[in-house]
Structure 1
């Protein structure tokens, strides 16, 4: 009895030690852009994009599982591996893709948080100004210590969307009728398919999890626990996103509204019809702001790690601003640019969805590079090989082709 108890205790300790990076990145994946895109999907197409949310789970898991293999198998971040394998030029090109993705993420998070401010009558520029100052202050004083707990607590606010979907009272018959309907001939439908893909699998999620595993000091013995955590996180992420689709479809279809969303308060009004004005807005604000805040934390850390790895200076975030002025100046410029774009009066819903479409168009480069590294830079049990490698290749190929086809088709028309 004692050996079995000791084994179970050891497994629990490994699981507890590994919990953090996978759950944080999956909660960050349920960010403002994902919520806005899912809400638009339900508002325009009812339940016709609901099946897609569950089809994304295998793609999301296999992507992040490869980042786990690379992180634990090499002890190096994604940017560092690219630099050592392909040279400084390709590393900087990969970094440019990362920065573009992170800039888009910052724009969508600021958009979502600004929309939450609008719910409670706070002017757009005031919200943006406060957020820019707070985010930059966090980056200047931040490290990985303690970030996980804060991020997980904030991210779990997204569970509020399940309550919103439940109170929307969706019609099971309508869900069944629309479940398999996929009007691929319609460019607006293709556009939202691409946006849903691009707000689920993003370059910064790959960079973050791999670097977070290393920064936390995890090793090969944590591989199984990290995989389990990531699978559970990916499933939770897509359940929350599906809940947003269901809530939007039920609310808009019930009121026979066929219009598209133009702002976050409009979205909140539709979602809170069954919860009451005060309670509904608070619940919705918690769900949207929680995901946006945890994604902001993750994006800030990702930029720091990515810039450091690609340039050979790891963990830039832990350096004082006087020790790495080049990094902090670049990040401040990106943050100010994102704030200015959000505060310019551009349609925040359209901007968030467009960012997702851009990420979908980047999928072939991101997934292709990830797959190549997992096939060539790992050895032993960590190496991607055999039947699983072929399965991952098929999943990545289908996702890349879908992202390109739907993204180009949606933008073209």
Structure 2
């Protein structure tokens, strides 16, 4: 094969990157930023181990999610409905909707608070403005155009890599603590671990990536569900693997740098508890300079604009698929009324968090803890679907992938059990 042919194929593969890359970027939403910041501030370098540990687990579970969508031509909730009784599916998607609306509200409130930090006014005004922008993009812009916008928003996450360049770091100590952390298992430690696990392996990302594989398939006239056209499998499954590995590597690398940044700034300065967005930014400003302060706010706003549509969209996919309603971001609102109604309802309910007494940073952190708990039954249900030949045909998840998926599920369950036990 000629060098020119190799380059053409690589270029074509890069153009098709999307669901995995966007899912990875959405993984570092304001909830993730707040949780990773809290972990770094509270425990210093001793939580860095979680990112290399979680990378193979989150990659495997997201690949399984993507395979389900690409193989069957249906999203995760539709496949759950085929395997499990309707009441079980209803409980699972209800848990997802509750977690997502809380997460949406916390994200929007944090975005408004970040804008206020930068401009000195208008927290509630900007919160509503960001909600309107996010909702308008989903309702008015077709998916094949909207997805390009989402890809560009992923660049906002490099803000956190940039912060590290502004401070002095002992990289030898970073390497040692990443491999051999000093932690004592207490209720507080277990809670932060659950939050880190829950914001890294989030339930909404499982539903989103499966559904976006379906959206991409339907938007491309040259592709079809693999269960009907298995000859497309080698190319498509390879693309899913590279897309997901790249997206999750991007997400975990950024998360590692967020923890590292707050460890060498906030924790080193003795500020171990982040109560508000202002606390985090105000502590960064004298230590790392105005650039770090600006990048903190930019990262919150940029990733929020990326994550809110993913949160609202995944809730809509889950609920509407479980009820057999018409779905899809490629459809106009009048063609999928129920789907867009759920998106609007999720955003509107989420806005209520901005007017509650909850501080955005604390709401973001506890939404991550909630995700860490409810992810366990959702991941277990997804693993059952991926292992069933009557659902996946010849494309049941390979043994190595199933093992990693169940290990990921077991780790999430163990973390949640440890948290509840430690607080007793």
- Does the alignment reach a TM-score above 0.5? yes
Tell me the distance in 2 between the aligned counterparts of 1:10 and 1:36.
40
Describe how 1:158-169 pairs up with structure 2 within 5 A: 158-169=157-168
TM-superposed deviation, 1:164:
0.5
Question: RMSD of the alignment, in Å?
Answer: 2.3
The correspondence for 1:232, drawn from 221, 240, 246, is 246
> Which residue does 2:369 correspond to in 1?
357
Q: How many residues align?
A: 406
Tell me the distance in 1 between the aligned counterparts of 2:54 and 2:32.
13
> Which residue does 2:264 correspond to in 1?
250
Pick closer, same or farther for the CA change 1:184–1:367 going to 2, 3 Å: farther
> Which residue does 2:203 correspond to in 1?
203
CA deviation map 1:159-178 (0-9, x unaligned): 11011023222233543564
TM-superposed deviation, 1:275:
4.7
Pick closer, same or farther for the CA change 1:252–1:78 going to 2, 3 Å: same
TM-score w.r.t. structure 1 length? 0.90
The correspondence for 1:273, drawn from 262, 277, 286, is 286
Matched, 1:223 2:253: no
Tell me the distance in 2 between the aligned counterparts of 1:102 and 1:93.
14
> Which residue does 1:125 correspond to in 2?
124
TM-superposed deviation, 1:114:
1.6
Q: Is the 8 A contact 1:167 1:274 kept in 2?
A: no
> Which residue does 1:138 correspond to in 2?
137
TM-superposed deviation, 1:316:
5.0
Q: Is the 8 A contact 1:170 1:247 kept in 2?
A: no
Pick closer, same or farther for the CA change 1:395–1:301 going to 2, 3 Å: closer
Query: SS of the counterpart of 1:384?
Result: coil
296-305 or 29-38: bigger deviation: 296-305
Q: Is the 8 A contact 1:38 1:244 kept in 2?
A: yes
Q: Is the 8 A contact 1:360 1:404 kept in 2?
A: no
CA deviation map 1:170-192 (0-9, x unaligned): 23354356442343432111111
Unpaired runs of 5+ in structure 1? none
Describe how 1:8-407 pairs up with structure 2 within 5 A: 8=6, 11-12=9-10, 14-119=12-117, 120-176=119-175, 178-179=177-178, 180-217=180-217, 220=233, 221-255=235-269, 257-277=270-290, 279-322=291-334, 324-376=336-388, 377-380=391-394, 382-406=395-419
Pick closer, same or farther for the CA change 1:53–1:150 going to 2, 3 Å: same
TM-score w.r.t. structure 2 length? 0.88
Tell me the distance in 1 between the aligned counterparts of 2:349 and 2:37.
26
Query: SS of the counterpart of 1:145?
Result: helix
